[in-house]
Amino acid sequence: MTFRRFALYAILLIFIVLLFVLIPRTAPWKAGLSRFNPVSISFAYCSNSEDVEKLTNEMVERFNKSVGKDVGIVVEARNYKSVDYYSSLVSDFLVGGITNADISDINMVNYETAYLAKTMNKIASIDDYLEEEELSEYIRGYLERGRYTSDSKRFVFPINNDTKVIYVNNVQWERFKQANPGYDESVFETWESLVEVSMRYYDWTDSLTPDIEGDGKAFIAFDSLSDYIFTSSNQLMNSIIQPGHKEVRINLDKRALYRLWEPVYKGFIYGGISIQRRENKSELMTSGDIVCYIASTKNVDEFPLAFMFMNKVGETKLRVYDFPTFNNQRKVSPMEGDGLIVLKSDSKKEFACFYFLDWLVTQDEYVQICYDEMVMPVKHDSHYSEYAITLVENGQKAKEAMKKHRAIVFEAASQQVLEGEPYAPVAFSKSSKFMQEVEDSFYDNVFAGIMEVDRLTEKGYDRRDSVEQVASNELFEIWYQSLKSIAEKY
C-alpha cells in the first residue's frame, strides 16, 4: 500500500469516526427511522381558535410533506377544544377507565394530569430524546416545570406558557407623579417600593376629598394572589412546593413566608392594594378605583381604553412593567399554561414524537400562534426571530389601540422571560386545590386585619400607626399555623 493510499484511508477513517461522534444520538437514522418505513404518530392539542387550528394543521401538513417525509415520520393532528376536558379523558385512560376518546401519542394536558402519568410511569422523558445542546435552546424555567422530583428527568414538553406583568394606566400614574414628584418608575421594581407607593396613593386620593375621611383608593390589584405567594416563595427560597428527593414536598420556610406576608399584608390592610378578588381588574381601572393591576399576558385585550377619575372621563395609555421582585433578590416571574406529554410506547415512536415537537416550536406559524394567544415562545431564538420582531413592529405601527397593546405586552413579556426566571410550582395531585386554599387563608387573614384597622382608626388612631400595630408577628403566626393545617391535608 502506497503512502498516499494509506493517508487517504486514514483521512476517511477519521472522517467516519468524527461523523458518528458529532452526529447527535437523536439523529433520525440513529433512532431507526427510515423514509421507506415511516412511523405514524398522533398529536392532540387543544384550542378554541379557528386560526390556531388552521395554523397548526398547516404546520403538520408541511412537516409530513417535507421533513417528516425525509426522515420517516407521519403526524396526525387532532384538536380538542378544552384542555381540562381532554385532560380528564387522558386521566381516565391512564387509570384504566372507560373513555370513548382516541388518546394520542402526544397529548396536551394540564400539569396535574401529567403528574398522574409520571407517577404511573406512563410518559417518556424529554431528556432521553433531546441532547443537552438541543435542550439549551429552550427557556430553562419552562423545562424545569416538568421535573417532578429533584433527581428525576423532565417529562413535560412546554408549549404555551403565559406570564404575569403589571398593566399600568400611565395617564393616571403621571397625574399622581406630578402631585408626588418623589416617585418614579423604579417603584414598580420591588414589592417593598410598590407597597409604599400604594399607601401613598391611598393618602393622596383621600386628600382630594377633604370633607370625606377614609375614602382613599387602592393603587394596585392582583388577578391571582397565589401567583404572588408561590412565586415569591421561590424567589426568597425555599419554594412552598418543591421537588423532593422521591416525591413533591411542601416546604413552609417561616422566615421566607414572613418576608412575603409582611409588605403585601400591610398594603392590603392600609387600603393601597385592592381586596377585590373575583371582579375583572380592568373594570376597577375603568371606574378609577385602581391605577394598575397584575394580570396574565393573555388578558391584554381586556385593558380598558378609558377610565373615570374625580367624575371625569379620560383615555388610558398602557405602560407595562415586569412582575416585581424583592430587594436584592433574583428576578422570578410566574408562568401558567399547559404542556405536552408523550405516552410510552417504543423508542422509535417516542423519538419521532419529540423530533416533531422540537421542529414544531421552531416554525414561524408557532410564533404567530404565541402572538395571537399572547403566550411566550419556548425557545430563546424565537423571541429574537425576524418573524417575532416584525409582529411587534407592525403592532406598534397599528392605529388600533388593542393591536398596539398586544405589541407592547408581547415585547415586555419576552424581555421578562429572557432576562429572568419563569417559574410555576411543580404540580401534584390536587395541587391547584392546595394553592387555592393557601390563597384563601391569606385573604382571611387580610379581612381580619382590615376590621382591626378600621376599629382603631374609628377610635382616632393614625392609619399608619394602626397598620403597624395590626401587622404584628401575632397575626402572621395565625396565618402560618393555618398554612400548617392546610399542608397536613396534602
Query: Whole domain around residue 466: which residue ranges?
Result: 163-335+425-488
Domain count for the chain: 2
At residue 165's C-alpha, the angle toward residues 161 and 168, to 5°, is 150
Do residue 464 and residue 331 come from a single domain?
yes
Do residue 296 and residue 445 come from a single domain?
yes
394 within a domain of the structure (yes/no): no
Nearest Cα residue to 43 out of 130, 133, 109, 118? 109
409 within a domain of the structure (yes/no): no
Mean pLDDT of 384-407: 97
Give the pLDDT confidence score for residue 55 in this predicted structure: 97
Hey, what long-range contacts does 177-183 have (CB within 8 A, 24 or more apart)? 179/204, 180/204
Strand partners, 73: 39
417 within a domain of the structure (yes/no): no
Do residue 78 and residue 133 come from a single domain?
yes
Do residue 154 and residue 260 come from a single domain?
no
Do residue 360 and residue 282 come from a single domain?
no
Asked if residue 241 has pLDDT above 70, the reply is yes
- 3-state SS of the chain is CCHHHHHHHHHHHHHHHHHHHHCCCCCHHHHCCCCCCCEEEEEEEECCCHHHHHHHHHHHHHHHHCHHHHHCEEEEEEEECCHHHHHHHHHHHHCCCCCCCCCCCEEEECHHHHHHHHHCCCECCHHHCCCHHHHCCECHHHHHCCECCCCCCECCEECCEEEEEEEEEHHHHHHHHHHCCCCCHHHHCEHHHHHHHHHHHHHHHHHCCCCCCCCCCCCEEECCHHHHHHHHHHHHCCCCEEECCCCEEECCCHHHHHHHHHHHHHHHHHCCECCCCCCCHHHHHHCCCCCEEEEEHHHHHHCCCEEEECCEEEECCEEEECCCECCCCCCEEEEECCEEEEECCCHHHHHHHHHHHHHHCCCHHHHHHHHHHCCECCEHHHHHCHHHHHHHHHHHHCCCHHHHHHHHHHHHHHHHHHHCEEECCCCCCCHHHHHHHHHHHHHHHHHHHHHHHHHHHHCCCCHHHHHHHHCCHHHHHHHHHHHHHHHHCC
Mean pLDDT of 152-176: 96
Q: What is the pLDDT of residues 42-84, one digit of tens each?
A: 999 999 999 999 999 999 999 999 999 999 999 999 999 999 9
The residues, ordered by sequence, that sit 6+ positions from 120 with a Cβ below 8 Å of its Cβ are: 94, 95
114 within a domain of the structure (yes/no): yes
Give the pLDDT confidence score for residue 8 in this predicted structure: 52
Do residue 346 and residue 471 come from a single domain?
no
Q: What is the pLDDT of residues 220-229, one digit of tens each?
A: 999 999 999 9
356's grid cell:
416533531
Q: What is the pLDDT of residues 117-162, one digit of tens each?
A: 999 999 999 999 999 999 999 999 999 999 988 777 999 999 999 9
Q: What is the pLDDT of residues 7-33, one digit of tens each?
A: 555 555 544 444 443 344 456 755 778
Give the pLDDT confidence score for residue 144 in this predicted structure: 93
Give the pLDDT confidence score for residue 124 in this predicted structure: 97
Give the pLDDT confidence score for residue 336 in this predicted structure: 94
Do residue 371 and residue 482 come from a single domain?
no
| pLDDT classification of 237: cutoffs 50, 70, 90 | confident
Could you say which of 353, 384, 415 is where a domain stops?
A: 384
Could you say which of 321, 353, 384 is where a domain stops?
A: 384
Give the pLDDT confidence score for residue 97 in this predicted structure: 66
Mean pLDDT of 159-177: 97
Percent of the chain with pLDDT over 90: 84
Q: What is the pLDDT of residues 201-224, one digit of tens each?
A: 999 999 999 999 889 999 999 999
5 within a domain of the structure (yes/no): no
Cα gap 231→236, rounded to integer Å: 9
For the chain, the average pLDDT equals 92
How many Å separate Cα 279 from the centre of its chain? 21
Do residue 51 and residue 100 come from a single domain?
yes
Give the pLDDT confidence score for residue 131 in this predicted structure: 92
Asked if residue 5 has pLDDT above 70, the reply is no
Cα gap 231→333, rounded to integer Å: 7
353 within a domain of the structure (yes/no): yes
Q: What is the pLDDT of residues 81-109, one digit of tens each?
A: 999 999 999 999 999 866 667 899 999 99
Q: What is the pLDDT of residues 252-277, one digit of tens each?
A: 999 999 999 999 999 999 999 999 87
Is omega for the bond preceding 238 within 30 degrees of 0, making it cis? yes
Instruction: Record the pTM.
Output: 0.91
Q: Evaluate whether 372 touches 137 at the Cβ level (below 8 Å).
A: no
13 within a domain of the structure (yes/no): no
In the chain, the largest separation of any two C-alpha atoms, in whole Å, equals 107
Q: Which residue has the higher pLDDT, 19 or 376?
A: 376
Of the given ranges (21-30, 173-182, 386-395, 397-406), which has the lowest mean pLDDT? 21-30
Of the given ranges (94-108, 182-196, 250-264, 340-354), which has the lowest mean pLDDT? 94-108
Give the pLDDT confidence score for residue 34 in this predicted structure: 86
Do residue 239 and residue 376 come from a single domain?
no
Give the pLDDT confidence score for residue 328 in this predicted structure: 80
Do residue 189 and residue 219 come from a single domain?
yes
391 within a domain of the structure (yes/no): no
Could you say which of 354, 384, 414 is where a domain stops?
A: 384
The residues, ordered by sequence, that sit 6+ positions from 438 with a Cβ below 8 Å of its Cβ are: 226, 229, 230, 240, 483, 486
Q: What is the pLDDT of residues 407-429, one digit of tens each?
A: 999 999 999 999 999 999 999 99
> Which CATH number characterizes residue 79's domain?
3.40.190.10
Do residue 322 and residue 429 come from a single domain?
yes
Do residue 59 and residue 141 come from a single domain?
yes
215's grid cell:
375614602
